């Protein structure tokens, strides 16, 4: 069964929220270990936004690529 448009929108929004939260937390915890001692909350938000845009573009390109492939819907019979 295909996903509804509303279901797709909710999935995308939740995916973005969860991914951004994980990214934000990881930046705060991990980047100082690699010498980024002056990382402010604002800079962390900016870094997160950049990576979020990159992630959205990547997901869109991969999804469109696979939608463009001509997979045949075949069933295996016993």
Quote the pLDDT of residue 78.
56
The rounded distance, in Å, linking the Cα atoms of 20 and 26 is: 10
Quote the pLDDT of residue 34.
92
The domain ranges of the chain are 5-68
3-class secondary structure, 24: helix
Quote the pLDDT of residue 8.
82
Quote the pLDDT of residue 14.
92
Helix axes 5-30, 41-68, angle to 10 degrees: 140
Q: Is the pTM of this model over 0.85?
A: no
Could you list the pLDDT tens digit for every one of the 78 residues in the chain?
A: 677 888 888 888 898 899 899 988 998 899 899 998 888 889 888 988 898 889 888 888 888 888 788 765 555 555
């Amino acid at each position: 069964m295909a996903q509804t448009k509303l279901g797709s929108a909710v999935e995308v929004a939740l995916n973005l929220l969860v991914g951004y939260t994980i990214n934000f937390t990881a930046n705060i915890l991990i980047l100082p270990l690699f010498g980024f001692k002056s990382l402010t909350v604002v800079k962390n938000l900016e870094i997160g936004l950049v990576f979020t845009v990159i992630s959205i573009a990547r997901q869109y390109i991969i999804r469109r690529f696979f939608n463009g492939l001509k997979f045949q819907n075949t069933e295996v019979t016993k």
